[in-house]
Chains A and B, each alone.
Chain A
Amino acid sequence: MATNGSVPTVTIRIQRFNPDADKKPYLQAFQVKAPPGKTILDALHEIKEEQDGSLTFRRSCRHAICGSCAMNVNGRHMLVCDAPLREHVDRHGVLTLRPLAYLPIIKDLVVDRTSFWEQYQRVKPWLIPPENIPEKEFRMSAEEVAALRDAEHCIMCGACYSSCQVIALTKQYIGPHALLKAFLRVLDPRDSAPAERLADLDRGDGVYRCHTIFNCIDACPKGLNPTEAIETLRKLVIKRGAFEAARAERQRRLDQPIEVVGEAPALSGGE
């Protein structure tokens, strides 16, 4: 890092691409100051406001909860609003920013997430409640809630989807993000359609398309474990009939006080 007074200056190389003007993407370098506490997103804002107003990127909440600003920093996917600039420059004081991989580029760092959302819709990520909805509330055990907790923390940033090697080859694969949401619904004792969900996941581009490469775990900015969710779903697909019967039995007791529910599959990782 070069120093300008007491504040070092770093070089940020950003992949640029304007489909109206460029034939292929290229890297453009910008110089920005890197005081302590400045995030990569702050630097992008500074570049856009002071150096090149045409720079295009997505961002929204700036609190690592909306998932809009996921991009590739020095080869790793992360949320740039949560990434301190100084920590990510290399020993030459350079940082390279690219859009999420394997997705069509709309402009600069903005990618087309159509296939990402289509696969998300495919798993019906909403709750399908049972017919006998209790008057007061659904009763769930602590174990059942704990099994769902990590999957609920997914913010749909697309980092896992974009790091998946299978997604690089085919957009027909459901993808780790949607499979994690499918896991959330299948394991939810309030959901009344686990067998239908598991039948859909059993298709050629469902859970068995995963090659257990673990890139999704490395990429997840929330420390979740989609691979383990996929493994759990694979086992449940095989035992679909017994699982459906157990769910039907469980739903008859949804409005009763929790006594013994038994062990629920748990996801490790988490925050």
Chain B
Amino acid sequence: MRIFLMQRWSAVALLVFLTLHMVVVHYPPGHIDVDRVLERLDDPLWKAIDIAFLVAVLTHALTGAYMVITDVQRFSVYKRALAWAGAVAGVLLFVYGTRTILTF
């Protein structure tokens, strides 16, 4: 249940974050140039939003991969190891992504 709920809640969060991401990054209203992009990347509020987006993406992707892999009977015996591998990968990717966000 925990994995299932994590995936569903992260999916709902992704709906919000992806919409925001598409509007702000790909279809920004008005003029856009590098100065405005750097200004946004430097804003603490945007850093928090980007980190939350990163958490939602990692949660959704890793729980989804875990569910799909453990669907296969021969892999399901390694559930615990897969869960740990997913958690470690999640932490590493979170650190890597957060450092990238905080660079600006």
Contact = CB atoms under 8 A, between A and B. Distances in A.
Contacts of A204: 70, 76, 79
Query: Mostly helix, strand, loop or mixed at chain B's interface?
Result: helix
B76 A202 contact: no
A169 B74 CA distance: 9
**Size band of the interface chain A makes with B:** 10 to 19
A6 to B, nearest CB: 52
Contacts, number: 25
B3 interface: yes
A183 B3 CA distance: 22
B1 interface: yes
B79 A169 contact: no
B73 A208 contact: no
Given A172-B76, A204-B76, A204-B79, A166 B1 contact: no
Given A208-B4, A237-B1, A238-B1, A170 B73 contact: yes
Contacts of B71: 166, 169-170, 209, 211
Contacts of B70: 204
Contacts of A209: 71
A171 interface: yes
Contacts of B76: 170, 172, 204-205
A88 B76 CA distance: 39
B72 interface: yes
A249 B87 CA distance: 42
Interface in B54-78: 70-73, 76
Contacts of B1: 202, 208, 237-238
Interface of B: 1, 3-5, 70-73, 76, 79
Interface of A: 166, 169-172, 202, 204-205, 208-209, 211, 234, 237-238
Given A172-B73, A208-B3, 19 more contacts: A166-B71, A169-B72, A170-B71, A170-B72, A170-B76, A171-B73, A172-B76, A202-B1, A204-B70, A204-B76, A204-B79, A205-B76, A208-B1, A208-B4, A211-B71, A234-B4, A237-B1, A238-B1, A238-B5
